[in-house]
Amino acid sequence: MRKYDVVIIGGGIAGLSLAYFLSQHRSVAVVEREDALGYHSTGRSAAEFVLRHNAPEVCALARIAKNFFDRPPQGFTDVPLLKQRGGVVIASADKIERFEAVLAEERRFTREIERLTPEAAGSRVPILKPGYVAAAYYDPNFWDIEVENLLQGYIRGARRNGSEILERHEILSAERDGADWMLRTAGGEISAKVVVNAAGAWADPIAALFGVDPIGIVPHRRTAITVDLPVGVDATTLPEINEIDEDFYMKPEGGRLLASPADATPCEPSDVQPEEIDIAWAAHYVEEATTISVRRIAKSWAGLRSFSADKLPVVGFSPGRSDFFWLAGQGGYGILTSPSLGQLAASLLMDRPVPESFRHEALDPRSFSPARFQK
């Protein structure tokens, strides 16, 4: 029987980032149901890093994470984890009022924003359709995340610290055995003093398996497609395109253009696949806002973004328990917040003071506590 201080359920970015930080101090195993780590939401993201456009708490988590991305620990990665992409935020004629309000708000936070005439927007983003854009601004504060390198950095570091990462180990049942959990998995029995629920879309069903009240984590499906860029358009320098209300967004991905209709359809946890209608919406927006006529969709996929009721992550021990810990509800920002939430979760699990960066940001970890959902 293999015994660990902490068993983390879920081999996505959440579970693996925590394993990275915690394994420096505790014996840790990560158990993952699938053959491959990062198979679900983590492998399906748009790989975007932003400092704004989310709740203030999430923006603070992003600022904390940026230090890690810019200066990762020695040996973590051979390549930079962030690449500045920049973004052009656009509005069509019927959304000018909304555009002015957003622009005024964003300028309160950063002076780097540059208002663009429709012509200037067309020069920055040569695929924009003349006539569609009535107003635009450029914001340099958008980056691409090297998600695979980030994930591999966490995995390598966790293994170097002695963690075991066990694929094909679906948790099937759990029961108490004295001070420990006895976990029956698809790969055999293991025991743990503490279990961490980092099961993404499955966070609520996992809680139920442990006799813990679910807290209402709801998976929302989001779809993306990629299409070919016109010959001569350089994907490396093309900025993101963000519709002012996030009706859609587009960004280069692997030399092509990724487009998402920014759908957010509540659904059951599953190996979610894209619906025809959402693929059609993505293609529609490409044709509406750009000069690209979509003849062929190179790739389409869907993934789950899982939210709590207040859309903030859930990090902490289940109320009244010291054997069941939540690391869930990362919504649409689980990759970009992974260094900050991984460090926070490790500190809370070890009953240590929260990281200095959280104090510096005046970010109270109780904002993320599962206790806020207690009835």
Ligand X SMILES: Cc1cc2nc3c(=O)[nH]c(=O)nc-3n(C[C@H](O)[C@H](O)[C@H](O)COP(=O)(O)OP(=O)(O)OC[C@H]3O[C@@H](n4cnc5c(N)ncnc54)[C@H](O)[C@@H]3O)c2cc1C
Give the footprint of ligand X on this chain (CB under 6 A): 9-15, 31-34, 38-42, 44-48, 170-171, 198-202, 206, 222, 224, 303-305, 330-336
Neighbours of 211 (CB within 10 A): 11
Nearest of 306, 294, 321, 149 to residue 221 by alpha carbon: 306
- What is the residue whose two structure tokens read 């699990």? 349
Rounded distance between C-alpha atoms, residue 301 and residue 325, angstroms: 31
Nearer to ligand X, 157 or 200 (CB): 200
Nearest distance in Å: CB 115, ligand X: 25
Report, in Å, the least distance between residue 37 CB and ligand X: 7
Tell me how far, at minimum, the Cβ of 219 lies from ligand X, in Å. Answer: 9
Task: Identify the residue whose tokens are 């990759």.
Answer: 335
Contact 184, 176 (CB under 8 A): no
Q: Which is nearer to ligand X, 8 or 121 (CB)?
A: 8
Looking at beta carbons only, is 192 or 199 nearer to ligand X?
Answer: 199
Shortest spacing between CB 249 and ligand X, in angstroms = 9
DSSP state at residue 366? G
Task: Give the nearer residue to ligand X in terms of CB position, either 81 or 116.
Answer: 81
In angstroms, what is the minimal distance from the CB of 236 to ligand X? 18
Residue 362: strand, helix, or coil:
coil
Placement of tokens 């983390």 in the chain: 8
Partners of residue 116 on adjacent β-strands: 136
Distance from C-alpha of 38 to C-alpha of 34, rounded to nearest angstrom = 9
Q: Regarding beta strands 2-9 and 142-145, do their DSSP bridges make them parallel or antiparallel, or are they unpaired? A: unpaired
Cβ distance to ligand X smaller for residue 224 or 241: 224
Alpha-carbon distance 84 to 68, whole Å? Answer: 15
Enumerate the β-bridge partners of residue 97. none
Residue 331 Cβ vs ligand X, minimum distance, rounded to whole Å: 6
Kind and range of the H or E run holding 225: strand 218-227
Residue closer to ligand X, measured from CB, 119 or 271: 271
Provide the minimum distance between the beta carbon of 17 and ligand X in the complex, in angstroms, as a whole number.
8
- Measured from the CB atom, the residue of 116 and 158 that comes closer to ligand X is 158
